[in-house]
């Protein structure tokens, strides 16, 4: 309600400035305790206990400044990043575009972030305040890195002692050549190196993939992920494709997120479920706006879900509302837990 009143003003601000003010506001405003989630939403994935399966997707909190505030807003977990070993400025501005009529965003940020050395002491402090909320840290490679795999190894070494899980992000469309790491041989080498780099901290490792993949790519990724004992696949990042869009900014280059990504991300999730036969946990992301969307993604095979763009259009209470709505739907449909519903609409 309040957000609906404030939205016209917020949307007059340039998108990246509005985002900066949101992060500053979350840091400044003291928030109450995290809302209690309905016990039906409790989920154990990769050995981690989530109070609810709704997570904030990476990109919102690139530098790991407010994961505790996100938990207090009702998210069951927050994935921060993408954090690269060295700080980097990213692409020239403007580089985030709202597509209001489409309830979508195009971004070509290019991993702008303050670097891992800056984030580590802060995350160590904030983690202690996160209570039951899970912290995921999403790692990437610097644009000018001579050895990108070495960057992921640095990220895994740095972040394993701090995070509940690590995400290897090789699917951003805004770092040239990054998605080539999804190719079979490169992926095998990358994941083996990351798994080893965790050292004694055997925290779960998730792999985030693009939605713009061919069936043979999907089979290869599943094979390598299973071979390397990756704990979950996150499906998906933004798309470089352009479904029919209505808004003025549709010509901008970059990754598209929000409502127009929904069908593609859902289709890819089903593809990954089919290719893996349910043997690897999946996390559904892309165009999730409502509790019904979350439920649909769970029934298609997702053990957890994430969202970002919908919060831009629906405001800060949406995680809380989605959690309540999802609990109601699960009960109405006769499920006693999230895990019971996972994959229930697919033929295994
Ligand atoms: C402005 C913006 C920045 C993003 N930055 C990252 C990022 O740094 N790392 C990453 O893995 N995904 C990033 N994403 C992708 C999201 O995490 C998510 O996969 C995608 O937006 C689809 O979900 P949505 O439709 O709910 O937004 C970003 C998305 C947006 C809109």
Q: How far apart are the first and last CA of the chain?
A: 42
pLDDT at res. 347? 57
Average pLDDT over residues 151-165: 97
Instruction: Answer yes or no: is the C-beta of 260 below 6 A from any ligand 1 atom.
Output: no
Nearest atom (ligand 1) to Cα of 265:
22
Instruction: Answer yes or no: is the C-beta of 64 below 6 A from any ligand 1 atom.
Output: no
Banded pLDDT at 158 (limits 50, 70, 90)? very high
Please provide the CATH number assigned to the domain covering 2-341: 3.20.20.70
Instruction: Give residue-wise pLDDT tens across range 86-138.
Output: 999 999 999 999 999 999 999 999 999 999 999 999 999 999 888 889 999 99
Nearest atom (ligand 1) to Cα of 234:
19
pLDDT at 196 over 70: yes
Instruction: Answer yes or no: is the C-beta of 284 below 6 A from any ligand 1 atom.
Output: no
Instruction: Answer yes or no: is the C-beta of 56 below 6 A from any ligand 1 atom.
Output: no
Tell which wins on pLDDT, 202 or 289.
289
Going from the Cα of 135 to the center of ligand 1, the distance in angstroms, rounded, reads 16
pLDDT at 348 over 60: no
Domain boundaries, the chain: 2-341
Instruction: Answer yes or no: is the C-beta of 96 below 6 A from any ligand 1 atom.
Output: yes
Average pLDDT over residues 255-262: 97
Instruction: Answer yes or no: is the C-beta of 257 below 6 A from any ligand 1 atom.
Output: yes
Active site residues: 172
pLDDT at 1 over 80: no
Banded pLDDT at 145 (limits 50, 70, 90)? very high
Residue nearest to atom 22 of ligand 1 (CA): 286
Nearest atom (ligand 1) to Cα of 15:
1
Nearest atom (ligand 1) to Cα of 62:
8
Instruction: Answer yes or no: is the C-beta of 136 below 6 A from any ligand 1 atom.
Output: no
Contact of 76 with 50, CB cutoff 8 Å: yes
Question: Which of 49, 97, 94, 58 minimizes the C-alpha distance to 76?
Answer: 49
DSSP 247-263: SGGGG--SEEEEGGGHH
Question: Which of 170, 213, 163 minimizes the C-alpha distance to 193?
Answer: 170
Going from the Cα of 336 to the center of ligand 1, the distance in angstroms, rounded, reads 31
| Mean pLDDT over each residue of the chain, to the nearest integer | 94
Going from the Cα of 248 to the center of ligand 1, the distance in angstroms, rounded, reads 21
pLDDT at 78 over 90: yes
Helix axis angle for 148-159 and 184-197, nearest 10°, is 30
Question: Which of 317, 211, 323, 308 minimizes the C-alpha distance to 269?
Answer: 211
Question: Which of 157, 132, 131, 152 minimizes the C-alpha distance to 142?
Answer: 152
């Amino acid at each position: 309600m309040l957000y609906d009143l404030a939205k016209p003003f917020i949307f007059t601000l340039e998108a990246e400035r509005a985002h900066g003010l949101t992060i500053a506001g979350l840091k400044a405003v003291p928030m109450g305790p995290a809302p209690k989630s309905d016990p039906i939403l409790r989920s154990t994935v990769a050995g981690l206990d989530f109070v609810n399966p709704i997570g904030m997707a990476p990109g919102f909190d690139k530098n790991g400044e407010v994961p505790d505030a996100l938990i207090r807003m009702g998210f069951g977990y927050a994935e921060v990043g993408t954090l690269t070993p060295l700080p980097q400025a990213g692409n020239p501005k403007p580089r985030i575009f709202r597509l209001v009529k489409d309830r979508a965003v195009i971004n070509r940020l290019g991993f702008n972030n303050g670097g891992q050395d800056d984030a580590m002491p802060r995350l160590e402090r904030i983690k202690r305040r996160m209570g039951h909320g899970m912290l995921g840290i999403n790692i990437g490679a610097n644009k000018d890195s001579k050895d990108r795999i070495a960057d992921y190894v640095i990220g895994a070494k740095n972040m394993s002692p701090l995070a509940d899980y690590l995400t290897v992000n090789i699917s951003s469309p805004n770092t040239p050549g990054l998605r080539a790491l999804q190719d079979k041989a490169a992926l095998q080498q990358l994941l083996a190196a990351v798994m080893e780099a965790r050292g004694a901290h055997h925290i779960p490792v998730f792999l985030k993939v693009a939605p713009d993949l061919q069936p043979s790519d999907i089979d290869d990724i599943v094979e390598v992920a299973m071979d390397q004992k990756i704990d979950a696949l996150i499906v998906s990042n933004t798309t470089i494709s352009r479904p029919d869009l209505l808004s003025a900014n549709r010509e901008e280059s970059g990754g598209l997120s929000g409502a127009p990504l929904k069908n593609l991300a859902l289709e890819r999730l089903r593809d990954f479920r089919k290719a893996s036969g349910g043997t690897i946990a999946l996390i559904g992301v892309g165009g999730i706006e409502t509790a019904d969307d979350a439920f649909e993604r769970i029934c298609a095979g997702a053990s957890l879900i994430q969202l970002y763009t919908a919060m831009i259009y629906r405001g800060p209470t949406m995680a809380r509302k989605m959690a309540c709505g999802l609990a109601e739907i699960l009960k109405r449909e006769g499920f006693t837990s999230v895990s019971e519903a996972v994959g229930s609409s697919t033929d295994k």
